[in-house]
A and B are shown apart, each in its own frame.
Chain A
Amino acid sequence: MWMFLLRRLLNSLPVMFVVSLVVFGLIYLAPGDPAAIIAGEFATADEVIKIRAKLGLDEPFFVQFGKWGLRVLSGDLGVSIFSNFPVTTLIGQRIGPTLALTAATLVWALALALPLGIIAAVRARKLSDRFVMALSVIGFSAPSFVIGYVLMYVFAVRLGWFPVQGYEPIANGVPEFLRHIFLPSLTLGLVYMALIARMTRASLIDVLSQDFIRTANAKGLSWFSVVLIHALRNAAVPIVTTVGAGVALLIGGVVITETVFGIPGLGRLTVDSILRRDYPIIQGVLLLFSLAYVVINLIVDTVYVIVDPRIRY
């Protein structure tokens, strides 16, 4: 177990190395002079030179990457070109709403997706199954901003059940927090829920057709015991993988959802930075989100070993 964890941890180091190389190297991938593009069309030559120095673009690539990497490892993500504030400070100010939104979404999406997937699998090809599958196809096809605006129009504008936009921290009271986070969280979680429900269904149907399930049924075990204990546990690995891989959907979606509902989180910070071409901030957020993704999948892989003792690396 500990050996596995250690090896898995070592395996994710090259991934993070490549991520940081990409995040850093993007500046070079881009056609044209990045300093000039960041400075904007009306910048003077002097301003462009200043920005070039600020980004360290006047040194050889691997020297820059090394310096940058060491700074990042010591927790320094550079300073914003626009406001001159340290990127870590700006991220710290905005991370609260994003964490709250993602965590809330993760909880309800998982809590709904598993039962839906199980129902769909047990009643495969029946009406309830068709309903779950139709819901999941729609969840995949409608972009989250369209879902967000439809929900906002119906439940906030027409019915007035929820505020149209905005965010209240939990510190200002749980009911207010929930009222504000309900629609954004629904918008963000629909695709994720659809993905997991689908995977649960597919994996469970696969397992339910195997011989040991027939044996379990034949010896008179209850439905509960057969489906939830025998089958689900054997169907767990692909489901757990999807739970981890799907987090990428949540992370990408959070940027869009925050924009639709005017939530002052990391997503808003990113979008504001795009408009100002404030690359150090985009770089910082990109690194942070990728790190979150890698860490979550590390945890997910650990869950594997607990769920399925057959897996040994």
Chain B
Amino acid sequence: MPNDNLQTPSMFLGLRSIGARLVRQMPGNSLAWLGVLILVLITIAAVAAPLLATADPQAINPIRRLRPPSAQHWFGTDHLGRDLWSRAVYGARISLVVGVAVTTICVSIGLLVGLVAGYWRIADAIIMRVVDGLMAIPAILLAVALMALTRASLGNVIFAIAVTETPRVIRLVRSLVLSLREATYVQAAITSGTPVSNILLRHILPSTVGPLVVQATYVFAAAILIEAALSFLGAGVPSNIPSWGNIISEGRSFFLLAWWVVLVPGVLLSITVLAVNVLGDGMRDALDPRLSRVI
């Protein structure tokens, strides 16, 4: 989990040894592989949504509304008689798109800004003040405020979540760079007059990859959760898009009549995030044997 990944020297591995360690260590961790399996299944569902859906996710059928799960409607129907299985399958697309997009944005910007902040003292002072300020605002509320000011769209949701998650990545990269700077080989490189760009890209960057990959899984999980929370609060993707959060939000008023409308997407959401978290923990353990004994 995000807050207890204590950094240790053994996390500073090169790119090649990270791949090797993941392959070598992960087979013993059946839980992490279960996470991978679940994520693969959900990705297949998202990609093949048009094939897997048994009905048009938007097709309204008032006669068949609020039907419990049955052979015809595997996950039941909602208050407009829409087939929940089909909506849930399409909803997986939104969650995954948001997760991938937010993670990509956060990691690239976080890496860039974090390298700068960790290496140059003056930039550090300014950047970290901004980061501290952004992190003092509770993530969901900051995203909500951003969404209240923009039109509901998938792109704006991704932007709002990225704004709340990037500071965490900046912080991680910066702290890694700060400690790597003191490493003997980096000091030697500085002394022998290696250009700064070379030091950052060839000596420091590779060692940040391990912790960054682990952090990326937590950003991914957080992005999916915040997207659902935003939709649930009515500040997420437009309501005509069947995201899991939107399905829950619409099913809310009918919860006492039809629990499945809320719980089906809710359980799917939880399983997805669980899979990502378990995978992240597995990778962290594989990359850092010292921690795997402890956590």
* A interface residue numbers (CB < 8 A to B): 14-19, 21-23, 26-27, 29-32, 34, 37-38, 136-138, 140-143, 145-146, 149-150, 152-153, 157, 164, 195, 198-199, 201-202, 205-206, 238, 242, 245-246, 248, 251-252, 255-256, 259, 270-271, 273-275, 277, 279, 282-283, 285-286, 289-290, 293-294
Contacts and interface: CB of A to CB of B under 8 A. Distances in A.
Interface of B: 1, 3-4, 6, 129-130, 132-142, 144-151, 156, 221, 225, 228-229, 232-235, 248, 255-256, 259, 262-263, 266-267, 269-271, 273-274, 277-278, 281, 294-295
B266 to A, nearest CB: 4
B24 to A, nearest CB: 22
A273 B295 contact: no
A29 B146 contact: yes
Nearest to A254: B138
Contact of B1 (A38, A140, A279): A140
A23 B294 CA distance: 40
A252 to B, nearest CB: 4
A interface secondary structure, majority: helix
B266 A146 contact: yes
B133 A22 contact: yes
A149 B266 contact: yes
Nearest to B153: A31
Given A19-B137, A137-B281, 20 more contacts: A14-B129, A18-B136, A22-B134, A22-B142, A31-B150, A37-B151, A141-B273, A143-B225, A146-B248, A146-B263, A149-B263, A157-B259, A205-B294, A242-B3, A242-B4, A255-B233, A273-B148, A282-B148, A285-B141, A286-B137
A145 B229 contact: yes
A18 B132 contact: yes
B146 A255 contact: no
A61 to B, nearest CB: 16
5 contacts: A22-B134, A143-B232, A198-B1, A246-B3, A279-B149
A293 B142 CA distance: 13
A30 B144 CA distance: 12
Given A149-B262, A153-B259, A256 B145 contact: no
Contact of B140 (A149, A255, A290): A255
